Amino acid sequence: MTIGATTSERTAAVERSGFLSKRRVWIVLVRVAFVGGFFLLWEIASQRWIDAFLISSPSRILTSMIAGFRSGELIQHCWVTLQEIAIGFPAGVILGIGLGYAFGRSRLLAEVFEPIIIALNGIPRTALAPLFIVWLGIGIWSKVGVVFLLTFFLNFFNTYAGMRQLDQEYVDLARLMGARGWKLTFRVILPAISPYVFTGIRTSIPFAVIGAIVGEFVAATEGVGFFIRQAAGLFRTADVFVGIIVLMLMVIAIDKVAELIERRALRWQSTSEHVRIQG
Amino acid sequence: MEPTGHGARSRDELVIRIEGVTKAFQTPDRGRLTTLDNISLNVPYGQFITIVGPSGCGKSTLLKLIAGLTPTSGGRILYQGAEVRDLNTKVGYVPQESKLFPWLTLEENVAFGLDSKRYSREERERQLKYFIALAGLAGFENYYPSQLSGGMSKRASIIRALAYEPPVILMDEPFGPLDAQTRMVLQDELLKIWEQKRQTILFVTHDLVEAVALADRVVVMTHRPAHIMDVIDVPMKRPRNIFAIHRQEGFDEAYTRLWDIFRHELHIKTQ
Ligand SMILES: Nc1ncnc2c1ncn2[C@@H]1O[C@H](COP(=O)(O)OP(=O)(O)OP(=O)(O)O)[C@@H](O)[C@H]1O
Ligand SMILES: [Mg+2]
């Protein structure tokens, strides 16, 4: 009576992942060689060809970084920047998704406010950072504001795009089966648009960090952005690089967390990440 | 699982009455396109009705009207005596593509209509188990739709509509894109399920053999603007054997009548 998937499909998948793991070793090896080569070249360049005062060197950066973390100074700066992101980013994500969803649900809302939102989006948002300092002071709240602003629009636009792509038939079917309110929103609509929502969240992560740093560049007494500006002012190139690397790690760490959540939430999608195109 | 309990109702009690329904759409160039023209049909409880007609004549539209997904332009549809004005949550709907919710597992999909207010936990479990086994999908409960074959998705989509036991199920060419073999197996399964539950089914199809094989009555629609040209009674006994349907008494008679109507219609078109 039953036709369809069998255990052979499952074993095929296992075999493929076994093959992949062998491949993966190669991929990692090539990657490590590439990055290692780059650092080696940098180190050599700083000793022979270009003044280390300008480009610093991997060994100097490492020394500065260790010193910075030992003294606790760098940790304090990271802590401040992380706080700004930890408040501004989730607020921007949630409100962005919320408004995008509301625009998708209410045609009237969308018709009235869409041009306004698009106009607002035309403002180069980092240019507003000085205003935020005026309004919210030089403490963390002005930076929270900039982080929020940068995060909000990306999440709003992605969620709204998802809402416009939403398949009417899924909604109709769910409603015919009696889904309303909470169930319709959280069991049907949000899952249906979740690939868009996660695209919004993940593209906004680097922008959240940019927001915090720009705010700190403009006026601050603490934070990684402040640390970088101060180091540059004193021509401590190694410290500038330390700051940049710390920010990079921050983005990567937040993105990893987001990726984990995304993986769990989107595990229903077919797992192959690459479309195979031959020819 | 006991049957849905329509047995108590008299055979002729109507669940749906379609009274002079017309449906027109706005065309892209701002004109009006009449799709359904003065359609009337009575559907008694527990009947299996198939609907055939040329492509684009408005079969899907008719189902959508009954489900309340789109309003009529004229006439009215009574469902259990009340006029359908808004979404009709008392019908199950099986769309042309399976349209399982891809973010839910097979089991969660089938359970979607099993409202926690109407079904206790145990009833729900029982219902799920029963229908999943009936469709031959046991063992695949935790699979996502992307991991199922086309035929499996189809079956899941059908039991999703059956599981919460709506009195009427609307099926829009559910077996359309499948190969002949899978199709037959699914037709057979559908009839077996239906024979136990005896829900009312309105089943749209392109396939004349399928239309006769499954139905108590076949509704034949014309080209656009569509009206009902004829309703053919299929006198075959049940349970039927799908795999030898041609040899069953009554098949030829009904099929020949249906084919005559179609030939006539095609002939008119070619002049
Ligand atoms: N939302 C709509 N807006 C405008 N016209 C529509 C709409 N839905 C359907 N139509 C028109 O109504 C007619 C009937 O469509 P319908 O989908 O009901 O046909 P059908 O009989 O189901 O065809 P098929 O057998 O090919 O599925 C078509 O000519 C189509 O162009
Ligand atoms: Mg159709």
Task: Give B26-48 pLDDT, tens digit per residue.
Answer: 988 888 889 999 999 999 999 99
Give the β-pairing of B48-52 and B32-44: unpaired
pLDDT value at residue B4: 46
For ligand 1, mutation pick of B30, B57, B64, B69 (most atoms within 8 Å of CB): B57
Q: What is the DSSP letter of B97?
A: S
The angle at the Cα of A177, spanning A158 to B12, to the nearest 5 degrees, equals 150
Q: Is A188 on the interface with B (CB under 8 A)?
A: yes
Our CA-based measurement puts residue B198 at a distance from the nearest CA of chain A, in whole angstroms, of 19
**Residues of chain A with confidence (pLDDT) below 50:** 1-12
Please tell me the distance between residue B68's alpha carbon and the centre of ligand 2 in angstroms. Answer: 16
Q: What is the DSSP letter of B27?
A: -
Residues of chain B contacting residue A174, judged by C-beta atoms under 8 Å apart: 101, 112
pLDDT value at residue B12: 72
Q: Rounded to an integer, what distance in angstroms lies between the CA atom of residue B225 and that of residue B223? A: 6
Q: Rounded to an integer, what distance in angstroms lies between the CA atom of residue B6 and that of residue A264? A: 44
- What lies within 8 Å, CB to CB, of B43 at 6+ separation is B14, B15, B16, B17, B18, B49, B168, B200, B202
Residues recorded for chain A? 279
- pLDDT, one tens digit per residue, over A227-278 is 999 999 999 999 999 999 999 999 999 999 999 999 999 989 876 556 667 6
Residues of chain A contacting residue B102, judged by C-beta atoms under 8 Å apart: 268-269
Give the β-pairing of B74-79 and B82-83: antiparallel
Would you kindly state where each structural domain of chain A is located, as residue ranges?
A: 1-50, 54-278
Q: Rounded to an integer, what distance in angstroms lies between the CA atom of residue A215 and that of residue A99? A: 25
Q: Rounded to an integer, what distance in angstroms lies between the CA atom of residue B126 and that of residue B259? A: 43
pLDDT value at residue A279: 55
Q: Is the ipTM of this complex over 0.95?
A: no
Mean pLDDT (chain A, rounded): 89
- On the CB side of A231, how many CA atoms lie within 13 Å of its CA? 26
Residues of chain A contacting residue B144, judged by C-beta atoms under 8 Å apart: 267-268
Residue B143 and residue A5: Cβ atoms within 8 Å? yes
Residue B67 and residue A176: Cβ atoms within 8 Å? yes
pLDDT value at residue A52: 83
pTM listed for this prediction = 0.83
Q: In the CATH hierarchy, which fold is given to the domain comprising A54-278?
A: MetI-like fold (1.10.3720)
Q: Is B172 on the interface with A (CB under 8 A)?
A: no
Q: Is B91 on the interface with A (CB under 8 A)?
A: yes
pLDDT value at residue A275: 66
pLDDT value at residue A8: 47
Q: What is the mean pLDDT of residues B217-222?
A: 94
Q: What is the mean pLDDT of residues B248-270?
A: 83
Residues lining ligand 1, Cβ inside 6 A? B 25, 35, 53, 55-61, 224
Measured between CA atoms, the residue of chain B closest to residue A192 is B103
Residues of chain A contacting residue B189, judged by C-beta atoms under 8 Å apart: 1
Mean pLDDT (chain B, rounded): 89
Residue with the smallest CA separation from ligand 1 atom 22 is B60
